[in-house]
Homo-oligomer: A and B are copies of this chain.
Amino acid sequence: MVIETRHFKTGDPEPTFPSDGKLQLLSMRFCPYAQRTHIILEAKRIPYHTYNVDLTNKPEWLTKYSPLGKVPALGVPTERGLSFIHESMVIADYLDEKYPEKLLYPKDPFAKAVDRLLIERFSIVSNAFYKIGFRGDINGKVELSNGLDEFETELKKRGTSFFGGKEPGMLDYMIWPWMERLVLLKYGKDIQYEIDEERFAALTEWSRKMIDDYAVKVHYITGDIHRQFVEGFKSKNVDYDILLT
Chain A residues with CB under 8 Å of chain B are: 76, 78, 83, 85-87, 90-91, 93-94, 97-98, 109-110, 112-114, 116-117, 120
Q: List 5 A-B contacts (CB under 8 A).
A: A76-B110, A85-B117, A90-B113, A90-B117, A90-B120
Which residues of chain B have C-beta atoms less than 8 A from A94's C-beta? Answer: 109-110, 112-113
List the B residue with the shortest CB-CB distance to A95.
B109
Q: A90-B120, A120-B90 are in contact. Are A85 and B114 (CB under 8 A)?
A: yes
Q: A90-B120, A120-B90 are in contact. Are A85 and B97 (CB under 8 A)?
A: no
Tell me which of A83, A90, A98 has the highest count of chain B C-beta atoms within 10 A of its own C-beta: A90
Which residues of chain B have C-beta atoms less than 8 A from A97's C-beta? Answer: 109, 112
Tell me how far the C-beta of A18 lies from the nearest C-beta in chain B, rounded to whole angstroms: 20
State in angstroms the CA–CA spacing of A117 and B87 once bound together. Answer: 8
Which residues of chain B have C-beta atoms less than 8 A from A112's C-beta? Answer: 93-94, 97
Which residues of chain B have C-beta atoms less than 8 A from A110's C-beta? Answer: 76, 78, 83, 85, 94, 98
Tell me how far the C-beta of A220 lies from the nearest C-beta in chain B, rounded to whole angstroms: 27
